[in-house]
Structure 1
């Protein structure tokens, strides 16, 4: 099937457009989804806006995860990517240039006519001849400018929704990443509290132990003093009884007169 020059030009234009779209996508920050502003490169190799990564890492202390691959950086460190910044500016210029190209360069592949309309039912770009085909009869067909404006607004609303969802999930991820740090702080605080309580308890037990030992020593000394006093008293009693026993023994072998002399005093002492 012969291919017209217009069809070749249209296909080439589509290829260039796709390439430009790819460049434009690569020029966007993965956090804010906008063109890079002051791009920086973090340790894992991903690029982000300086303000975006600073906001993402705000509040982090010991781990700084990449918002794309979650690779943990051990310190707050990134470097400016001047070359990427220049590429972003070139991508902006290419986008402006592409936007300024006249739409009439886009040709219908069937009729080689300028694409001027859009079918909302089939979501197809049409030329004037396409609008007359039975396939699009009774369909909502708008001018390409009106349709583009309508869908651009829808895409903008999608972008805002997606940005909000990305931000919400980013907050959730940041919150989850902060929890281990908060948990470590709570555990450390509880550990110090328990250590302090056990230290006070040990000091109290030491004091009680010393007091108990002191009381035991006092009681031992007091009991020993009483025992010594009893032993002394018993020894004195034994000595007195031995003296009396000796006197009675001597008295019992005396003559009758001597035995009976002063017997009353001796008997009283024996009783």
Structure 2
């Protein structure tokens, strides 16, 4: 094995770096490198003053060639040695410059291009940094390695984006179904007024749904194509990284260009337009009230009774028969299963939308901020709470599976708190009083409730 390696090195030393054939009439130039006399003469034929070495680019001062007689005899001896078939084949397959038909032995760092020695001394690359194949391949291999992790991250982000896009049609359908359900309630209450408009509105909703779904489908297609492109480029770079030096540097510019010009496709962002039916005059006041004065409330877990569970998004509360263990908070309800919102109001007009699901007793309204939450009395008008209590004043407890939507409107200066049934857009009743301190929206679930959930909604008008 060692003999074969030594033989290969000896044969390589006996070859001309320009023509890659065995040296013919070898000469030695100023820097010490050896060439065929005809090869170096042809290389420097049109040059004046400066004569760069085709191997190391050393600037020789003149054309004084020194014939190397000893190397000539040694080359004759090497020619008689057998050349392994595999070695001969590899030499024959070395790529050549299409312009000069010489071996590509240099690499231009700026243009990312393989060059032959003659290309390297041309005006096109005169000011560029040129390096050997081995050095260039090592540098480019490091760059390719640095591309892999960012590209893999982009591919993962693209896949996440694709999955998000894939779920949006279901969200669209769900929102559309919610709006259709509201439309059904309104049409049932006002059948005569809506007979002519319901079909048109459903058609508009259907067309909009289809239009959005088509655009979302296009989003998914673009994200899928983008993801495939990233994965293909990632695979190509990973494969390129393992190739031989010459193969790695061949067409490396293409990979650089594709990596540097990666663009995430713009996706269609949608905003559904809710169609509304033609309503009697008194309905316009409620719609305007919702769109003008609606606030987005969040529940305050610090005020929640120990038997109430507040969701992570602080939009839902439900009763828990197993009392949770926690440090006593003086701000929390201790004797009454209630919870306040973070937001309170000491001026202006405010509307909020609440949904009640399940079976049980509930109440909601507003309380004075100074209401004693650790006293044994329940909230009432006498201690500064104005509440809509389903189990006492409206229609009994919720039926199993029933969904009720209640709107609460506070006019602080006018001293009014009004309640609306948003299932059919009807007015329920109101409290009137004089408000002198900050009021807090409050929510309560009775201890006899089963799977009852109060959820704060954001009505879209």
User: Relative to total residues, which structure has the larger helix share, 1 or 2?
Assistant: 1
Rg (Cα) greater in structure? 1
TM-score between both structures, scaled by the size of structure 2: 0.23
